[in-house]
Amino acid sequence: MTAPATALLDVNNIEVIYNHVILVLKGVSLKVPEGGIVALLGANGAGKTTTLKAISNLLRAERGEVTKGGIEFKGERVDRLTPNDLVKRGVIQVMEGRHCFGHLTVEENLLTGAYTRGDGRQAIEADIEMVYSYFPRLKERRKSLAGYTSGGEQQMTAIGRALMSNPTTILLDEPSMGLAPQLVEEIFEIVRKLNAERKVTILLAEQNTNVALRYAHHGYILENGRVVMEGSAAALRENEDVKEFYLGLSASGRKSYREVKHYKRRKRWLA
């Protein structure tokens, strides 16, 4: 294990089953250190979203269940809590596909993020200004219905809404989805800033391996519900297999897809 021993979030060998029959995660373990940016990489259906939802406990609403293993946050078991309890403890998920409240204005969207807080109107208003300082574009659009804003603005609204809950940890699911490359960079820059300035720990699920590994400190690669590789972001970027299968590079330069050899699985901890 290259991750530090003092993990803020510790996912220990979890198995997730949907609808009592569909086995999606077959034993996933990962550690997120305090103040880190950890990336969860992999193709469609690898189990990235399911892992995040298992942590934030949104699984149960989709008839999924953690059947083995456990999840600890700050040393406390959290896998039997409700999403509401987790948000109160500082863990919030930004769902894939933004999921803004379309019929609420941008500012109302931000306010819903403060639902669990009890520290008064002033603190909440100060935090709205804080969100606007990170996302100046949202300030311009504060009165528009979120449903009519662009994809990038919705992603910003979704992240801003999560920030309003005063989180210590944000589970960020596929922030690059459906956005132009330039906007993706912009959003990741802001994520990095949030991490550096507000000490928010980030667990990020991404398909865009290239971008994710540039911003993350540490990465896990999931395949078919298993972690097949992990390491520091720098090490993963230099790994030949990762280069070939996820970054589209190889020793001999660009190759035809036909020549790609079948992936040799590396089961680090199961085998």
Q: Binding to another protein by residue 95, rule CB under 8 A?
A: yes
Q: Binding to another protein by residue 7, rule CB under 8 A?
A: no
Q: How far apart are CA 39 and CA 216, in angstroms?
A: 6
Of 63, 37, 61, 64, nearest in space to 51 by CA: 64
Q: Binding to another protein by residue 178, rule CB under 8 A?
A: no
Q: Binding to another protein by residue 128, rule CB under 8 A?
A: no
For residue 137, count other CB atoms closer than 10 A to its CB: 15
Q: How far is the CB of 95 from another protein (least distance, A)?
A: 5
Q: Give the helix ranges, DSSP H, for the chain.
A: 48-56, 83-89, 106-113, 120-134, 136-140, 151-163, 181-197, 209-215, 233-238, 240-245
Q: Binding to another protein by residue 59, rule CB under 8 A?
A: no
Q: Binding to another protein by residue 119, rule CB under 8 A?
A: no
Q: How far is CA 269 from CA 33, 126, 173, in A?
A: 19, 46, 25
Q: Binding to another protein by residue 14, rule CB under 8 A?
A: no
What is the x/- site pattern for another protein, positions 185-224, by CB under 8 A?
Answer: ----------------------------------------
Q: Binding to another protein by residue 81, rule CB under 8 A?
A: no
Q: How far is the CB of 202 from another protein (least distance, A)?
A: 16
Stretch that binds another protein, among 14-22, 60-68, 179-187, 255-263 (CB under 8 A): 60-68
Q: How far is the CB of 211 from another protein (least distance, A)?
A: 23
Q: How far is the CB of 138 from another protein (least distance, A)?
A: 16
> For another protein, which residue of 77, 80, 123, 148 counts as binding (CB under 8 A)?
148
Q: How far is the CB of 102 from another protein (least distance, A)?
A: 5
Q: Give the helix ranges, DSSP H, for 135-239.
A: 136-140, 151-163, 181-197, 209-215, 233-238
Q: How far apart are CA 109 and CA 103, in angstroms?
A: 9
Q: How far is the CB of 51 from another protein (least distance, A)?
A: 15
Instruction: Let me know the angle formed at the C-alpha of 11 by 29 and 77, rounded to the nearest 5 degrees.
Output: 150
Q: Binding to another protein by residue 116, rule CB under 8 A?
A: yes
Q: Binding to another protein by residue 64, rule CB under 8 A?
A: no
Q: How far apart are CA 26 and CA 17, in angstroms?
A: 9
Q: How far is the CB of 159 from another protein (least distance, A)?
A: 12
Torsions phi, psi of 31, nearest 5? -125, 135
Of 71, 53, 44, 42, nearest in space to 220 by CA: 42
Q: Count Cα atoms within 13 angstroms, Cβ side, for 109.
A: 33
Q: How far apart are CA 217 and CA 236, in angstroms?
A: 10
Which residues does residue 72 pair with via DSSP β-bridges, in sequence order? 10, 77
Stretch that binds another protein, among 109-117, 135-143, 224-232, 235-243 (CB under 8 A): 109-117
Residues forming contacts to another protein in the complex (CB under 8 A) are 56, 58, 61-63, 82-84, 86-88, 92-95, 99-104, 108-109, 111-113, 115-116, 145, 147-148, 161-162, 165
